[in-house]
Structure 1
């Protein structure tokens, strides 16, 4: 019973010292957080345009450029590279493995367009 009381006292002392530390550093922390929020860069269309991800949706009729973007290859890639990229993408996006049927259909359409 005495050891339980000692452990409870040590726990309360730890909580007390922790709270004291947080309260003493909190004004500085609050000021740093406020400065970080006010100095955040604004997101606009110019900064998003330089992103490495394609921002558009699918076009009604697939083009060679869109097919290359889907398979993440060059539009002038040879048939072997097209097939390897298709195989790699289908392994992760196949409907039997939890992928989307729509994405796998788009992958197949892209492969067929570039494989010609």
Structure 2
């Protein structure tokens, strides 16, 4: 019984020392990680649209949200909507606000799409 308690105590002490060492190593690496991220080319992140939402959605903004052209036909809009919603649905950890904007974009484009 006593040997088990000693083994548990040594294990906890070893885990604490390892955690402290890992934490200190991460602190030393932080400036290097920041420098590495800043040295990445800006094009590495250009695949994502940067910008907020305007109060009234435009056709261009709706097309950017769904990843289609502003003149997309009615067949491409539901496909794009489904693809984006699978990634951003609130039931799967997505934002309800973003999901609402995706639905708004779909409704706007479907109302103006060519048949």
Q: Give the TM-score normalised by structure 2.
A: 0.54
Question: What corresponds to 1:11 in structure 2?
Answer: 8
Question: What corresponds to 1:33 in structure 2?
Answer: 27
- The structural deviation recorded for 1:108 is 0.8
Alignment RMSD (CA, Å): 4.2
- Structure 1 pair 57–49 and aligned structure 2 pair: CA distance change class (3 A): farther
Q: Secondary structure at 1:79's aligned position in 2?
A: coil
Q: Secondary structure at 1:77's aligned position in 2?
A: coil
Q: Secondary structure at 1:112's aligned position in 2?
A: helix
- The structural deviation recorded for 1:62 is 0.8
**Contact kept? 1:62, 1:110, Cα under 8 Å:** no
Any residues of structure 2 matched to 1:95-106 within 5 Å, and which? 99-100=96-97, 102-103=100-101, 104-106=103-105
Task: Provide the aligned length of Structure 1 versus Structure 2.
Answer: 102
Name stretches of at least 5 consecutive residues in structure 1 with no aligned partner: none
Name stretches of at least 5 consecutive residues in structure 2 with no aligned partner: none
**Contact kept? 1:68, 1:110, Cα under 8 Å:** yes
Q: Give the TM-score normalised by structure 1.
A: 0.53
Greater Rg by CA: 1
- Structure 1 pair 49–86 and aligned structure 2 pair: CA distance change class (3 A): same
Q: Is 1:67 the counterpart of 2:52 in the alignment?
A: no
Any residues of structure 2 matched to 1:71-110 within 5 Å, and which? 71-89=66-84, 99-100=96-97, 102-103=100-101, 104-110=103-109
